[in-house]
Amino acid sequence: MSSSSLPAVWRFAIVGTLASLPITVVVNWLPDSEAAIGRGIMIFGAFIAGIVAETRSANPGAAGLRAGVLAGVVAGLTLLVEVASTTQLSMLSVAFVVLASGLALIVAPAFGLVFGRIGGWTMNTVTSRLRPNANMP
C-alpha cells in the first residue's frame, strides 16, 4: 500500500497536468498558436496521464478524465482572472464567467477521457511492438 492517500489515477492525472505545462508553453511559441493552459492540460495532460496509467496497469481513461477535470478547473480560474483584470465586474460578466466555467467543467473531462484513452492505446501499441514475438522462429 502506498503512503499517499491520493488514489493512483489522481496522481497520474496530476503528473500529466504538470508534464503538460512545458509542452503547452512550447506549443504557444508556434506562429498563430492560441494554446491556452486549460486546453494544453486537456489534450497533452490527459494524453500523458493515459500513458502513465497504462504503464502502471491502471485505467487510462479514468486518469485522462481526471486530468480533464483539472483542465476545466484551471480554465475556469484563468477565465475568472482575465475577466476580473480587464473589466469591471458586473452581473453580465459574472454570469458569463459562471456559464463559461460550467461549460469548461462539462466539456474538458470528456475530452480528457478521449485523450487519456488515446494515450493508453498509444502506449499499449508501442510496447506491444517492442516485445519480442514468441511465435517467430
- Residue ranges of the domains in the chain? 8-71+108-130
Range with the poorest average pLDDT among 38-42, 99-103, 105-109, 127-131: 127-131
The model's pLDDT over 15-72, given as tens digits with 9 standing for 90+, comes to 999 999 999 999 988 888 877 888 999 999 999 999 999 999 899 999 999 999 999 9
* Dist. CA 137–CA 132, nearest whole Å: 11
Q: Is the pLDDT of residue 76 over 70?
A: yes
* Dist. CA 126–CA 104, nearest whole Å: 32
Q: Is the pLDDT of residue 73 over 80?
A: yes
Q: Which pLDDT value is given to residue 86?
A: 82
Q: Which pLDDT value is given to residue 23?
A: 93
